[in-house]
Chains A and B, each alone.
Chain A
């Protein structure tokens, strides 16, 4: 992997033109962007939901996820997801 974009103090935000929402007909969270849609799996949905709802650092985001998911060890997964999402141009670091 190339240089990492996110560290504990970065604030991930949705990229310009991206919208996050629940799609009842798809039964999943999606990202909508100019003329396109990405269906998200539940884990990706939980992370992006928090990113779209409020601005917070990656460490705060991880803390919140741990509360929601019974203290699961998910740091690496979150970082990996953030880098991938950034690589797809879904999010940027503010």
Chain B
């Protein structure tokens, strides 16, 4: 008798961080459906991956429309469903959506700040079939956490992390790290140990949406990373068999790009609050997208036939140095959104790559972050918090 099965696709969570995927299947299926149920959120995190103009979106899919999307994606082979946002708990029909998704056979992941959760809801969600709740933290200490989230939320999150475990879920904590909290990584991990967490994701901030806007204030310094990595590895050793710690180096400090989304249109499907289907949650900001919507086009048609999902599939779209690079099968040329943001052309190599002619753009960003970090707090650029007012102001509508 042969032994185990093949490990497949830890999918990118809302942060796209530690959970890299490996296998590129011959048959392309949307294994992962990320349902961004709403852009409403009580928090104002300055590293949010939602688009800057999120406040424009008014019309959310109805309960029936969401359930229909779940059905279509499930019929195409999707197994993982991320219920995300914004803050998914803002949706009054969240329990109905959980129940419908579980009945269809999805593994249901609720990705939440914990705001709006209480012990009885955690239990009721469990009874409705919710498999997993991921609670995100901004930092380990109360002051910093509240500063970064722009609200007074920390104590409640601790309570919710405990309630999640008490209700019989694995406790999965996500800490989004950046320059202003990464030096607290040992405190963060001690907090996770005290809470008896099962999984901890030390998710490095990725520079899209609001995080890109605030990059000079968030990008960690090299020496901070060296220290954080050392500490993370020490805790990984010490917690073996007890608590799983995922830690990933921010891609700006790597010399090869991440295999973003495990390849464009390969396993990952995002549906935004208004029904726009995207190959990744940042792709709305790329030029030339047709932005198909599940309200007027079937998920199957969008997945198989749309311009957007086919645009960067395979390797034919690539330019040099990716086109002739033998590593393209591993990293798919990196991230299309990052290529666009940093070079102006989404078909260029992700400039994180040391083979990219644009690598200097990344190095300059690192250098700008360093200069900004050396300024006193009075003269440094302020963090811009993610809220409807700033969204309107910055996006000009």
Q: Chain A: residues with CB nearer than 8 A to chain B?
A: 16-17, 19, 21, 23, 25-26, 28, 30-41, 43-45, 74, 77-78, 80-81, 84-85, 88-89
Query: Which single member of B5, B80, B105 contacts A36 (CB below 8 Å)?
Result: B80
Known contacts A17-B131, A34-B172, A39 near B77 by CB under 8 Å = no
Contact B80 A17 (CB under 8 A): no
- How many angstroms from the CA of A81 to the CA of B4 in the assembled complex? 7
Q: Is B306 an interface residue (CB 8 A)?
A: no
Query: Which single member of A17, A25, A32, A41 contacts B170 (CB below 8 Å)?
Result: A17
Contacts A33-B132, A37-B31, A38-B5 known; 4 new A-B pairs at CB < 8 A: A21-B105, A34-B199, A35-B13, A37-B107
Query: Which single member of B3, B5, B7, B109 contacts A34 (CB below 8 Å)?
Result: B109
Contact A19 B5 (CB under 8 A): no
Q: Is B169 an interface residue (CB 8 A)?
A: yes
Contact B3 A44 (CB under 8 A): yes
Chain B residues with a Cβ closer than 8 Å to the other chain, count: 33
Contact B131 A34 (CB under 8 A): yes
Residues in chain B near residue A21, CB distance under 8 A = 105
Q: Is B379 an interface residue (CB 8 A)?
A: no
Residues in chain A near residue B213, CB distance under 8 A = none
Known contacts A23-B77, A38-B6, A77 near B1 by CB under 8 Å = yes
- How many angstroms from the CA of A39 to the CA of B27 in the assembled complex? 14
Q: Is B383 an interface residue (CB 8 A)?
A: no
Contact B198 A16 (CB under 8 A): yes
What 1/0 mask marks residues of chain B from 141 to 160 whose CB sits below 8 Å from any chain A CB? 00000000000000000000
Contact B107 A74 (CB under 8 A): no
Instruction: Please classify the interface of chain A as helix (H, G, I), strand (E, B), loop, or mixed, using the class held by over half of its residues.
Output: mixed
Contact B11 A36 (CB under 8 A): yes
Query: Which single member of A16, A33, A35, A39 contacts B5 (CB below 8 Å)?
Result: A39
Known contacts A16-B170, A36-B11, A41 near B131 by CB under 8 Å = no
Q: Is B79 an interface residue (CB 8 A)?
A: yes
Q: Chain B: residues with CB nearer than 8 A to chain A?
A: 1-11, 13, 19, 29, 31, 76-77, 79-80, 82, 105, 107, 109, 131-132, 134, 168-170, 172, 198-199, 244
- How many angstroms from the CA of A85 to the CA of B354 in the assembled complex? 38
Contact B1 A89 (CB under 8 A): no
Known contacts A17-B169, A19-B131, A25-B29, A37 near B3 by CB under 8 Å = no
- How many angstroms from the CA of A19 to the CA of B334 in the assembled complex? 32
- How many angstroms from the CA of A37 to the CA of B371 in the assembled complex? 43
Query: Which single member of A19, A25, A32, A85 contacts B4 (CB below 8 Å)?
Result: A85
- How many angstroms from the CA of A38 to the CA of B2 in the assembled complex? 15
- How many angstroms from the CA of A51 to the CA of B8 in the assembled complex? 21
Contact A36 B4 (CB under 8 A): no
Residues in chain B near residue A19, CB distance under 8 A = 107, 131
Cβ of B228 to closest chain A Cβ, rounded Å: 22
Known contacts A44-B3, A77-B1, A37 near B8 by CB under 8 Å = yes
Which residue from chain A places its CB closest to the CB of B168 in the assembled complex? A16
Cβ of B242 to closest chain A Cβ, rounded Å: 11
Contact A39 B76 (CB under 8 A): no
Cβ of B243 to closest chain A Cβ, rounded Å: 11
- How many angstroms from the CA of A9 to the CA of B3 in the assembled complex? 22
Residues in chain B near residue A88, CB distance under 8 A = 4, 7
Contact A35 B198 (CB under 8 A): no
Contact A35 B10 (CB under 8 A): yes
Residues in chain A near residue B170, CB distance under 8 A = 16-17, 34
- How many angstroms from the CA of A21 to the CA of B107 in the assembled complex? 10
- How many angstroms from the CA of A68 to the CA of B116 in the assembled complex? 49
Contact A32 B80 (CB under 8 A): yes
Residues in chain A near residue B131, CB distance under 8 A = 17, 19, 32, 34
Contact B10 A36 (CB under 8 A): yes
- How many angstroms from the CA of A40 to the CA of B29 in the assembled complex? 17
Question: Most B CB atoms within 10 A — which of A31, A33, A88?
Answer: A33
Contact B79 A81 (CB under 8 A): no
Contact A84 B169 (CB under 8 A): no
Contact B79 A17 (CB under 8 A): no
